[in-house]
Amino acid sequence: MESETVLTYKKNGTLINIYKVPKEITVYSGDREFIKTSEALLLKEKGHKPVYYYPLKDARVELLSPSDNRTFCPFKGEANYYDLLLGERTLANSV
């Protein structure tokens, strides 16, 4: 099954493609599942590694804590990050 393109953006040499992921994905940290979704999007941007985006409703939000970290992209806008809480261990800005 091929991915459906949701959006293609090209400006000043920057190319961004966003695709619907055609299957359910599950994200783990170690052996802990913290995201399971069939609504993921895959963003591919020239010069960057691919990034998956998913609805927050599909994450185990009890394992997430809002981070103070923010970044800005002129094409995608502001990004907010979360720390992943794994018992005694915290993975800062990992989501």
Give 7-26 pLDDT, tens digit per residue: 888 878 888 999 999 999 99
The answer to whether residue 1 scores a pLDDT higher than 60 is: no
Contact between 20 and 6 under an 8 Å Cβ cutoff? The reply is: yes
> Considering only CA atoms, which of 43, 91, 47 is closest in space to residue 65?
91
C-alpha dihedral, 28 to 62 to 6 to 16, nearest 10°: -70
Percent with pLDDT over 70 in the chain = 97
Contact between 64 and 82 under an 8 Å Cβ cutoff? The reply is: yes
Residues found in the chain: 95
pTM for the whole thing? 0.80
